[in-house]
Structure 1
Amino acid sequence: MLLSVTSWWHHLATFEKILWGIAIVFSAIYLLQSMLSLSGGDVDHTDGDADSYVDHDDGISYQFFTIKNMIAFFTMFGWVGIAAYSSGIGKFATILLALAGGTAVVLLMVIVLKNMSRLRHNGALQLTNAINQTGTTYLFIPAKRGGTGKVHIKVQGTLHELPAMTDDDEEIATGKLIRVKNIINDRILLVTLADHNLSYKI
């Protein structure tokens, strides 16, 4: 079995090896991410910043360039590229189709997550219940409200991924313990770096 796989790989062209490498690596990362998410229990994966940026010009760009979307983009890029090149399409056209496939899946994710976020916003979630609660940063939060990051925090019994800003003088790095001080515009958490003696409540 190993010899047949080795022989198959050896006979692939360099371009095909690149496509297969991208597809396999990012598919593995995607599966690992999915398993970790499932093992985390009842987690809200609606990317809470979706509805937070409906009224802002940079909303789509912020949602587009996330770790999850990057993984999805390259996963689709690899498999679309493999399918296109295997069917006899040239390299340039293959790259264009792969780019289109990757972009399409990310746009679809953004649209779906935005709609899910709107449904949640219209539901029972009250962000004020997050005040004084602790969580961890998922995407770093720029200092002095210089931008928006993301945090994982338990609100009303469910773990959510929500947008957050800070008034702290220094940025809050990914994985740091945070505490919610207030809510900005009813949609964004205002957080600060929490005391290390506090525990993160799951």
Structure 2
Amino acid sequence: MDFSFSEWWESMSLIQQIYWAFAIPSTLIFIIQTILTFIGGDFDTDGGADFDVEMDDGAGFQFFTLKNFVAFFTIFSWTGVACLDSDYTLGLTLIISVSAGILMMVIMGSIFYYFSRLTDSGTMSFKNAIGKVGEVYLPVSAKRGNIGRVSIKVQGSLRELEAISDDKEDLPVGTVIEVTDIIGDNVLLITKSK
């Protein structure tokens, strides 16, 4: 059996040709993007707008990205081809294919949004130490007499941080303490734990 691309192409209606014209290149780009993602490459040039959802690390829910557009056109075109092969009307085909494409964009945007939430910059936020319990590592004098050090677990890591105290008594090595506040940018205000 002989296959002729030109005969196959000419046997289709204009709308089928349009859907196939989107399906072939968008699928190839989607496959390349997927391969590059798994081997560590990056094919994304995220220009355009993003809808910011409130987050701690500043990355928002990005809807209009190259990856999302490729996903849209891939699903849009293949859904359209399937609908036309099933003899759906043009109006119903457009509604279904556009809806499927938009749904895919939302799914892709959500996946990348939640993946970005999983990353950790490694930068410690001293505010996360407030309320934590630790132990004096270097003595801390009463009424902010000196800056000592404490061992405390913050953000899953045991750290030695500078600390001062407003307590009336000195806090010797080994005293169990609680962090009550942050002074300046990186000095813990501590008190003897009760």
Q: What TM-score comes out, normalization by structure 2 length?
A: 0.51
> Aligned partners of 1:36 and 1:118: how far apart in 2?
21
Q: How far is 1:53 from its partner?
A: 3.4
Deviations 1:130-176 (A, max 9, x none): xxxxxxxxxxxxxxxxxxxxxxxxxxxxxxxxxxxxxxxxxxxxxxx
SS in 2 for 1:125: coil
Unaligned runs of 5+ in 2: 125-194
> Aligned partners of 1:100 and 1:17: how far apart in 2?
20
SS in 2 for 1:114: helix
SS in 2 for 1:65: coil
Q: Using a 3 Å threshold, how does the CA distance of structure 1 residues 11 and 125 change in structure 2: closer, same or farther?
A: same
Identity %: 32
Unaligned runs of 5+ in 1: 129-202
* Residue type at the aligned position of 1:64: F
Q: After superposition, where does 1:1-202 map in structure 2 within 5 Å?
A: 3-40=3-40, 53-55=52-54, 59-60=60-61, 63-120=62-119, 124-126=120-122
Q: What TM-score comes out, normalization by structure 1 length?
A: 0.49
Q: Using a 3 Å threshold, how does the CA distance of structure 1 residues 36 and 118 change in structure 2: closer, same or farther?
A: closer
SS in 1 for 2:12: coil
Q: Which has the higher helix share?
A: 1
Q: How many residues align?
A: 115
Q: How far is 1:64 from its partner?
A: 0.7
> Aligned partners of 1:109 and 1:3: how far apart in 2?
36
SS in 2 for 1:64: coil
Structure with greater contact order relative to length (CA < 8 Å, sep ≥ 6): 1
- Please say if residues 22 and 74 of structure 2, whose CA atoms lie closer than 8 Å, have aligned partners that are also in contact: yes
